[in-house]
Structure 1
């Protein structure tokens, strides 16, 4: 068996449709998945124009190896994960998450609702490359059913977590980015008692309002709408709605680590234990956890590593309070073990309700200040660049949980190869902007870049 993944990156397989992402590839992945996870498999997709064709391909692969398929239609990835955990032996989602419209991809979901772990993913890949996922005989081919109504179970599951009408008196603007959250998040917040307005809430795989990645620049329309309506906050999702990001009532983008810290503060006040998060997350989250009597456990970058570490700790009898990434992808162990943008939108209502009417801007501004630099360098050989940085800092304390993390008392830097693109990502953070900028310059000098 292969030691490392060849097709799957940090979050599934992705590529440009018609180039690296083809029906033939997806059919083969479906057949391999169905061979590794026999039984009843749920399939869903986001709103991309290529989604229907690729969904048919993955279903064909599953059916031909004898799996029964239930098509859940267009829905957020966490909605499919929620349903899989309760009813199915596995799942497949056709999505490229935050990538541009010409991309699509496949995420494969295990029976517990998490993205499949590395070991079983490598088994799927090996079957794909070896052609070992053979078709069954005519009398053992699987059957297909449709169940778009199952999305309602997910909506009810989130709303049921909170006191009835907890959002009464709040006005919220939702920007699903023309993705599948168009049919979930507005309904969730409405049922919680919020007055909900929407922008970019028509499902459209050409993404006419903004690109699937919810960037501060792309959310200008949301910000303007929040301010003009006097709303309490705005929430936006990526292409498959496993993440949520926010703008405050002044229309200002809430940096995702500050979002994480606000929700962690709320959760840790109620549940003590470990907060699990990747090495890329701000020290701000560690500060907030410590203030509430919780500890941090660091993982490699990627929600699957966070989710599986949470499950591992719970299996060892250790209390886990919360988990997530500093990109708006938060994981609630009493809900499900995957990033869930719909749940995070709902949670922000609860956060503000618990603060007795405090505005989101005040809550976010009240957190300790950190200066975070995000840099990325496109390069054909990311590993060589990471090695060059390693060699350039011989005397610093280093962690190698994922990539290379340089750790000093007042600053840290993470240099790691992207799991989805040929590039190196560099993060540098300090409470002192000048200290962060100094280490960032040192790193770029070590690799011969200005």
Structure 2
């Protein structure tokens, strides 16, 4: 199956360019036709084009005879939790970590998971053939508001952690919500957990003027500087729709998503249980699973793929190297607030500093860079394979090359027209050198 509109996480584009109001309506009609449900829950992040895309999609949904239950500005996982608990499909208007000029449309299944590729393919066929359900005026859907989603979501998270111990610890927390969808929910959750909090960029701003919405070290310097004062136990940052969460330790050091996932896995997994993670993740996860006598399953990149594999294998935890953790006991999707709460639970129960806990995780160094993708991936892939000769490779997702000193993963982004280059080694300089080496090879090709 070849998908034309859906990327790694939904449909994304620039409104009034490749994500027009007309196309958004077609997507809404197709999703309503596909789900054929009495009602669909909808939410959006803070982007300034959110109203435009939301209104186009919701009008289209109602034209198919389906009611729209609007939940307001919410993190994507909060909408997913609402869908799961109320057994209704959902549509999220978000472009996650992409720059503010982007927006997107993401379909949520009735179990709260992102729809799989087969369902995306069926929706694309409806879009291309314009075979939409269309009802007479008296059967058109209605538009309702529901303000219960925030409490439902936060109470669900609190039920899965040691509320008493976290409350007693009175953790000092600095949080940067990046002007995104978690501007209200994450500070509220931290307050209920009796944390002393300082917030950064905790106002809804669809232009992300506080910082770039992707929570990378270069975008989190204000939070890092606050953490360097030594007055806080942990720093927390989300992306635009808060399905991801990254951390800064008490000394102001950025914690790589691989390390935070490995740390949560170490204290969550039990012998015989399963962790699911994509091929882009660190070998530290394999080491942790080996220590815990747990099983690890490696998948293609993409949170929906990880989540589906977790469901199929009854896995407790899964996640990606970008701060996207999936906790199966809560829901099968990336959830920034749940990830945040699991880390606070760990700090409270172990009564240690986060830097101390991280010393228990096997140390690897990963370098992540990207280059513009000028040609079709198949062309690049074939040329790369020819250039690699007899080197050991894995073609599960992109091309993973095994060197004596580490590994390299080259794959096309599912959300942008770039090639992502991941390299990992137990030696930091080696990881950097490997990345530079393969960027040069790509540029020459």
**163-172 or 211-220, larger mean C-alpha shift:** 163-172
Identify which range, 90-99 or 432-441, moves more after superposition: 432-441
Unaligned 5+ runs, structure 1: 315-319
Which SS does the other structure have where 1:57 is aligned?
Answer: helix
1:92·1:109 contact (CA, 8 Å) conserved in 2?
Answer: yes
Residue 31 of structure 2 aligns to a residue whose secondary structure is helix
3-state DSSP class of the match of 1:182? coil
Query: Which residue does the alignment assign to 2:36?
Result: 38
Q: In the aligned structure 2, how far is the partner of 1:422 from the partner of 1:58?
A: 25
Q: Could you tell me whether the CA contact under 8 Å between 2:230 and 2:250 is conserved in 1?
A: no
User: Aligned equivalents of 2:160 and 2:130: distance in 1?
Assistant: 45
Q: Which residue of 1 aligns with 2:266?
A: 265
Taking structure 2 as the reference length, the TM-score comes to: 0.95
Match of 2:391 among 390, 396, 417: 396
Alignment of 1:311-322 (within 5 A): 311-314=311-314, 320-322=315-317
Q: Is the 8 A contact 2:271 2:292 kept in 1?
A: no
When residues 437 and 235 of structure 1 are mapped into structure 2, their CA distance, relative to the original with a 3 A threshold, is closer
Output aligned runs, 1:46-61, within 5 Å. 46-61=45-60
Contact kept? 2:32, 2:66, Cα under 8 Å: yes
Between the aligned partners of 1:214 and 1:76, the Cα distance in structure 2 is 15
Structure 2 partner of 1:359: 353
- What is the match of residue 337 of structure 2? 342
Structure 1, residues 132-180: CA drift from partner, whole Å, max 9, x if none?
1142122321122110222210011011111223223211111111112
Q: Normalising by the residue count of structure 1, what TM-score does the alignment of the two structures yield?
A: 0.94
1:271 and 1:115 map into 2 onto residues whose CA distance is 29
Deviation at 1:189, TM superposition (A): 1.9
CA deviations 1:165-210 (Å, max 9, x no partner) are: 3223211111111112111111212222222221111111122211
Match of 2:257 in 1: 256
Change (3 A) 1:402 1:236: same
- Partners of 1:448 and 1:63 in 2: CA distance: 49
Deviations 1:359-397 (A, max 9, x none): 112222442221212221102214122222211222122
CA 1:448–1:189: 2 relative to 1, 3 Å: closer
Aligned to 1:153: 152
Q: Secondary structure at the match of 1:30?
A: helix
Unpaired runs of 5+ in structure 2? none
User: What is the alpha-carbon distance in structure 2 between the residues aligned to residue 70 and residue 99 of structure 1?
Assistant: 26
Aligned position for 1:372 = 366
Contact 1:299–1:306 (CA under 8 A) maintained in structure 2: yes
Query: What CA distance in whole angstroms lies between the structure 1 residues aligned with 2:207 and 2:409?
Result: 35
Stretch deviating more after TM superposition (213-222 or 436-445): 436-445
Cα offset for 1:225? Answer: 2.3
Per the TM alignment, residue 441 of structure 1 is displaced from its structure 2 partner at its CA by 5.0
1:405-439 CA distance string (max 9 Å, x none): 12345411111111111111111111134543554
